[in-house]
A = this chain, B = another copy of it.
């Protein structure tokens, strides 16, 4: 297991322990984690802090030149908002744990030149499958079925 995807999974697991949605992410620049985070919908009542957004937020204000050398790791295929953030900041590469539970805007990212890799990692798949079975009302709350 790639150490950065492992870190994203640890973030997702931390979110689950907090009673939250188990999606984690890390932003990596030249082999170093700049920011890590997990979905804060439940914990902070946030509708903008998905895992990827939380990682970007914790990385803080970075110049365009840094984003252009970054890879974003996320346990789940990035939704339209998080994909938009990837495009906004010109992050050139995204490594995705899995896209079986939810398929985000991977096609749009690829169309815009982002390198997208999907691992279909069994730990990521199991985390989401269990969460969606245990908490369907939370998973469907904001964007519906």
Contact = CB atoms under 8 A, between A and B. Distances in A.
Contact-size category for A: 35 or more
A1 interface: no
Complex copy number for this chain: 2
A30 interface: no
A64 B47 CA distance: 12
B47 A49 contact: no
A56 B88 CA distance: 18
A141 B64 CA distance: 7
Nearest to A85: B81
Interface of A: 41, 45-49, 53, 56-57, 59-65, 67, 79-85, 87-90, 105, 108, 140-144
